[in-house]
Chain A
Amino acid sequence: MRDDHQTLKDGDVVRRYFAKFRRIIAHLGAVTKAAPDWPGPMGEAGKQQIELIAVYLRRLAWTFDALSYKYLMAGHLSQHLPDQLDIDKVESGFPVYRELMQMAVDRAQIDRHLDRLPSAEQLRRQIVDHILRERTPPRRLQYAMSQRVYYERLAKGDLFLAQNDPEIIWLGNVKGNYRRRYLVHWGVYDSARNLPMLYLMILEDTGKTALGHDERRWPAVQNHLVAQSISELKLLTIARGFDADFPDIHPKLFRRIQIGPMRSNAFTRQSGLLAEVLAEADAPPGLDWALSWTVESLISKRTETRSTGLFSSVDTEVYDIDHLDPEAVDAGVTALERGLILPHRAYQVLMHREPAGIPGLQTYVVGDDGVVMAA
C-alpha cells in the first residue's frame, strides 16, 4: 500500500521469507549465549537481561511462525482476497506493524474461528477425498487448514505481540531494605520503523507497597511505559518523563534493544554498504542476508534531592551522558552499541571492502557449519 511496503503474494515466497527469519533468529539466540555478562554498575542483573532477550527472541520466532501459516495459502485463492502479507522492503525488512496489530485482533477472536473451522482430522480427510475424487489441488481446504494451524498457534500464546506489557522481576533490596530493586522488561513492535524493540529497566522503588503488588501504581506504570515506547523518543526523554511522573520510582538503568533491520538481496531494497556487499556476494538463497541490531543504554550517574514541601522531598536522577561524544548526546544515551550478524560469504566480501571492519560495529559471522563466531 505504501511505496516501501511490499505484498508477498506467492505462498512459496512467504515460506522462504519466514524460513529465513527462523534461521536468523536461531543465530541470534546463539549470539546471546556467546555474549559475555553485561558490564556496568548494574552488572549483577546482566545475565538476567541477556536471558530475557533470548526469551523475547523465542517469542518473535513463534510470532513469525504463526504469520507464516496465516499467509501460507493466501496467494493461491484469489487475486484480491484474502488479505496478504505486507513487508517493509525499504527500511526494516520485517513485516509491517499492521500485521502484528491484525494478529492481536485475530487473537481476540480465536474461539470463534476455531469453533467455525473443521477439526484438523476432518480437514485431512476432506483433503484426501478431494485429491482422490476431483484430482485437483484442494486449495480451499489447504487454506482452511493453514488458518486452523494459525489460530491454534495463536491460542498457544508465548508470542511477540504488537505490544507486550511490562513484566516485573524483583532483584532484591538495597540500602537496608529501604529500597526495593526491580528489573522491568517489555517489548513493542515499533510502528514507525516496523521493527521489534525490547526495553529493559532497572529501577529502585521507595513506595509504601512493593511496586509489583501495588494495584494503584503498577497498572499506571505499565500504561505509561508502553505509551512512551516510541522509537522517535530518546531514552533520556522517556526516562526523565517516567522519573518525573512517578516520584517514588527511580529508574537507574534503561536499555532499548532494536532488532533489525534485516537486509536480504532477495526481499529488500535497502541502499548503502551492506546492500552492496550482499549484491556482490551473490550468495545462494539462505545465505544472502544480514541482520543488524542496536543496544542503547542510559545509566544514572547521580541523584539529586529536591524538597517539595516542608517535610517531603523528591529524588531526581541525572543521567550519565558524555558531552564530548556527539553521538551519545544526539541519541540521548550513555552508550550506543551496534551489532551485525551475517553469513561467512557476505562477511568475506565485507572484509575485502572494509579490511578494518566498520567502526563501532560488533560483527558476528555464521560459519558454513552454522556455528556463530564473534569476528
Chain B
Amino acid sequence: MVDFDSSIKVAESEIKEAQRKIAEMTGRIESARTQIEQGAPEAASIDIENATLDDVHAHSEAMNANIAELIMGLDDVTAGFSRDFDALREKTGWESFVGFFSRGKSESMREERIRSASIDDKLQELISKSDVIINILQSQLGVLNDHKDRVDSNLGATLTERETVVGELEQIRAKIMELDPKIIELENRIGMEQDAAERTKLETELAELNQGYNELVQQEQVMLAKSQTLERYIEKGKSWVDSLQNQAATQMVLINKLQTDTKQRVVLYDALTKSLKTAQQQDVAHRINEIGVKTDQEAQAAMAAIGSATNQRMAEMMEKHEDHMVFARKVLEEKAKSDERFARRFAKIVEKHDKNLYGAAGQ
C-alpha cells in the first residue's frame, strides 16, 4: 500500500491546485461583472468558455478520485485489525513450540499475552488518520461553499439588473409600437394633401417622427445587446454555481462515508477485542481462585481445557461477530447507505481498488 503520509501530501497539493482553479474561475466571473457595471457590456468578453469549466471539473474529479483512493486505503489499514484479532485466538510460534513440551505452560503464556493486549493505540491511529482526511475535505467544502455564496450573491444582483434592462426594452418596444400607426397616418395624410405649405409641414413632422423612431430602434438594439450579455453572464454563472454545488455534494458524500465508517469501526473493533479478552479469561480465574496451590497441576490442566473450549467459542464468535455484537440494524443500514452513495460516485475507483486487491492476492 502507498504510504499514507505521502498520499496525504499529494491530495493536499491537488486540493491547493483545485482551489486555485476555482478561485480563478470565480475571479473571471467577478471581473466580467465589474466590466458590466462599468457600463461596457460589449467589452465584457465573458471568457468563461466551456473548456475552462471542463478543465476545473477534470481536475476536481482527479482530486476526488485521489481522496476516494485514500479512504479506500483506510480499509487496508483496518485489515491490520483482523490480524490482531487472529493473534488473540491463535498461539504464537513460540507458544506452540512450548506447547509441545508442556500444554499448561503454553496456555498460560498465551493467557498472559491476551491479558496485556490492547488495540486502543490502533483505534486512535484510525481516528486520527480519518480525521486528517476529514479536515482536508472540510476545508475544501468550506472553499466551495464560500465561492458558491459569492457567485450566488453576484448572480442575484445581475438578475435584478437584467430585469430592469428587460423592462426598459419593453418600454422602448411599446414606444416603437405607438409610433408605427402615427407614421402610417402621417404618410397617408402627406399622400392626400394638396396644399404645398401644409404638405411641407407634414413632411417635416414625419422626418422628426422618423428620427425619433430610428433613435428608439437603436436604443432597442443597445438594450437587447445588454440583456443578452447579462443573460450569457447569468447562464455561465449558473452553470458555475451548479458545478460548485455538485462538487460540494461530492465532498459531503466523502465526509459522510468516512465519518460513518470510522464511528462504526471504533465500536466494532473495540467490542470485538473486549469480548475476545473476556471470553478467554473469565471462567479460568473463577475456577482457580479456590483450588489453591496444592492442586496446581489440576489447575493447569483445567486451564488448558477451558482454554481450548473458549478457543472454540471464540472462533465461532469471530465468524458471526457482526450479528453477535448486538449491532443495531441502523448502523448497518446507515453504513450501507453511505457505502452506496460512495459507490455510485466512485464506481471506477472501487472497481480498480478491488481489482488491485485481488491481483495482489493472486500473486
Of A2, A104, A230, the residue contacting B124 (CB under 8 A) is: A104
Judging by beta carbons under 8 Å apart, are B274 and A192 in contact?
yes
Closest residue to B137 on the A side, CB-wise?
A81
Total inter-chain residue pairs, C-beta < 8 Å:
115
B120 contact set on A, CB distance < 8 A: 101, 162-163, 226
Contact between B281 and A237, CB atoms less than 8 A apart: yes
B116–A245 CB distance below 8 A: yes
Chain A residues near B141 (CB-CB < 8 A):
81
Instruction: Tell me the bound Cα distance from A234 to B284 in angstroms.
Output: 12
Residue of B nearest to A104 (CB): B124
Does residue A356 face the partner (Cβ distance < 8 Å to B)? no
- Tell me if B245 counts as interface (CB < 8 A to partner A): no
Interface readout for A211-231 with B: 1 if CB under 8 Å, 0 if not?
000000000100110111010
A17 beta carbon closer than 8 Å to chain B = no
Cβ of B116 and Cβ of A1 under 8 Å apart? Answer: no
Cβ contact within 8 Å between A97 and B117: no
Does A336 belong to the interface (CB within 8 Å)?
no
A256 to B27: give the CA distance in the assembly, Å: 63
| Majority DSSP secondary structure for residues of A touching B | mixed
Contact with B along A317-329 (1 / 0, CB 8 A): 0110100000000
Distance in angstroms between the alpha carbons of A319 and B281 in the assembled complex? 17
The residue from A1, A83, A223 contacting B331, defined by CB atoms under 8 A apart = A1
Report B-chain residues with C-beta under 8 Å of the C-beta of A228. Answer: 115-116, 277
Instruction: Say whether A226 contacts B255, CB under 8 Å.
Output: no
> Contacting B264 at CB < 8 Å: which of A1, A102, A304?
A1
CB contact between A82 and one of B117, B138, B277 (< 8 Å): that residue:
B138
Residue of A nearest to B330 (CB): A3
Within 8 Å of chain A (Cβ to Cβ): is B296? Answer: yes
Rounded to whole Å, the gap between the CB of A245 and the closest CB of chain B is 5
Q: Are A224 and B116 in contact (CB under 8 A)?
A: yes
Question: What mask results when residues 280 to 299 of chain B are scored 1 for a CB within 8 Å of chain A, else 0?
Answer: 01101110111011001000
A240 at interface by CB-CB < 8 Å: yes
Closest residue on chain A to residue B327 by CB atoms: A2
B263 at the binding interface (Cβ < 8 Å): yes
Q: How far is the CA of A364 from the CA of B285 in the complex (A)?
A: 35
Q: Main SS of chain B's interface residues?
A: helix
Number of interface residues of A (CB under 8 A): 45
* CB–CB A98/B267 < 8 A: yes
Residues on A with beta carbons closer than 8 Å to the beta carbon of B260: 1
User: Which residues from B are CB-within-8-Å of A374?
Assistant: none
- The reply to whether B282 and A101 contact each other, CB–CB distance below 8 Å, is no
Our pick among A2, A220, A316 for the contact of B267 (Cβ within 8 Å) is A2
Q: Which residue of A lies closest to B293 (CB)?
A: A306
Interface residues of A in 291-327 (CB under 8 A from B): 304-306, 316, 318-319, 321
Residues of A within 8 A of B327 (CB): 2
The complex places the Cα of A178 from the Cα of B333 at a distance, in Å, of 61
Judge if B349 is at the interface, Cβ distance under 8 Å.
Answer: no
Q: Could you mark each residue 162-180 of chain A with 1 if its beta carbon is under 8 Å from any beta carbon of chain B, else 0?
A: 1100000000000000000
A25 within 8 A of B: no
- Interchain CB contact (< 8 A) of B289 among A1, A4, A224, A236: A236
Whole-angstrom CA separation of A208 from B334 in the bound complex: 56
Collect the chain B residues with CB atoms within 8 Å of residue A232's CB. 274-275, 278, 282
Q: Is A358 an interface residue (CB 8 A)?
A: no
Asked if A233 is an interface residue, CB under 8 A from chain B, the answer is yes
Q: Measured between alpha carbons, how far is A1 from B112 in the docked complex, in Å?
A: 35
Chain B 229-254, CB within 8 Å of chain A: the 1/0 string? 00000000000000000000000100
Assess whether B289 is in contact with A318, with CB atoms less than 8 Å apart. yes
- Kindly state whether residue B350 has any CB partner on chain A within 8 Å: no
The CA of A311 and the CA of B10, in the complex, are separated in Å by: 63
Cβ-defined contact, B282 with A245, below 8 A: no
A80 interface residue (CB < 8 Å to B): yes
Docked CA distance A230–B114 (Å): 13
Compute how far the CA of A102 lies from the CA of B123 in the bound complex, rounded to whole angstroms: 10
Nearest-CB distance from A329 to chain B (Å)? 9
Q: Nearest 5 A-B pairs (CB), nearest first? A: A3-B328, A227-B118, A306-B293, A237-B285, A240-B285
Offer 26 A-B interface pairs, CB within 8 angstroms, sorted by A: A1-B260, A1-B331, A2-B327, A80-B256, A81-B252, A81-B255, A98-B263, A101-B120, A104-B124, A105-B131, A109-B128, A191-B270, A220-B116, A228-B115, A228-B277, A230-B278, A232-B275, A233-B278, A233-B281, A234-B285, A234-B286, A240-B288, A241-B112, A241-B115, A306-B293, A318-B290
Q: Which residues of A contact B (CB under 8 A)?
A: 1-4, 80-83, 97-98, 101-102, 104-105, 108-109, 162-163, 191-192, 220, 223-224, 226-228, 230, 232-234, 236-237, 240-242, 244-245, 304-306, 316, 318-319, 321, 332
Given A4-B328, A228-B116, A245-B116, 18 additional A-B pairs, CB 8 A? A1-B260, A1-B330, A2-B327, A2-B330, A104-B124, A105-B124, A105-B131, A192-B271, A232-B282, A234-B282, A237-B281, A241-B112, A244-B112, A245-B115, A304-B292, A304-B293, A306-B296, A332-B286
